Amino acid sequence: MRKCIVLASQSPPRPTNFRVGAILISRADNDPTFSDDRILSTGYTMELAGNTHAEQCCFSNFAAVHSVSEEEVATVLPVEEGRKLVMYVTMEPCGKRLSGNAPCVQRIIKTREGGRPGVHKVYFGVKEPGTFVGESEGCKMLESAGIEWEYVGGFEKEILKVAMAGHENAEQKVKEALGEAGGDDAEQ
């Protein structure tokens, strides 16, 4: 998650989205300390041209290395016995985008097309604040697609400060979002 926060802080601050970082990992099944994790790709919001999201850039970067388009990334993601693909993102993948572009949950689900294992689980450090799309749908959509997710607590303040750096009175917004997230340092 710390690596994702560093990625997110490379994103150009905008009032119209959040600065998010994402990492795609190949993880061994029987490796409780995750010591055998292999980072396959990284991405951060607006890393690539256009109005791009961190998860989208993460997939795009991997696809580019394998000379396919982001839409076809499922065809080049590794399928290895005894290993699964997991994704770490600072913020819950979006289920809806004000711009109308394809949401990241859809892109994550797409990695499983053609019966491929695709992304097995998503870890994130904050639920999406209500700033743009109100109640976030990401988790529910992942669940209904059979993709596991896990909330990694303890990074809320750091993640939201980076995510909202481009927003009007960001400090106040972060405080409110922390209140939403129920972060343990919400009262500060």
Q: Which does 91 bind (CB under 5 to 8 A by kind): ligand HJL, Zn ion, none?
A: ligand HJL
Is residue 23 a contact partner of residue 29, using CB atoms and an 8 Å limit? no
C-beta of 83 vs 142, nearer to ligand HJL: 142
One residue of 69, 71, 80, 99 binding ligand HJL per CB under 6 A: 99
CA distances from 70 to 5, 13, 49, 79 (A): 23, 24, 13, 17
One residue of 28, 40, 48, 133 binding ligand HJL per CB under 6 A: 133
129 binds ligand HJL (CB under 6 A): no
One residue of 5, 86, 91, 174 binding ligand HJL per CB under 6 A: 91
Contacts of 5 (CB under 8 A, 6+ apart): 21, 90, 125, 155, 158, 159, 162
C-beta of 43 vs 118, nearer to ligand HJL: 43
One residue of 6, 76, 79, 98 binding ligand HJL per CB under 6 A: 98
181 binds ligand HJL (CB under 6 A): no
Smallest distance, ligand HJL to C-beta of residue 53, A: 3
Is residue 160 a contact partner of residue 172, using CB atoms and an 8 Å limit? no
C-beta of 5 vs 94, nearer to ligand HJL: 94
Smallest distance, ligand HJL to C-beta of residue 120, A: 18
DSSP state of 92: P
17 binds ligand HJL (CB under 6 A): yes
Contacts of 159 (CB under 8 A, 6+ apart): 5, 8, 90, 91, 125, 126
Site string for ligand HJL, 20-49 (x = CB under 6 A): x------------------------x----
**Complete edge-to-edge strand list for the sheet that includes strand 38-44:** 38-44, 21-28, 83-91, 119-126, 148-151
Pairing type for strands 21-28 and 38-44 reads antiparallel
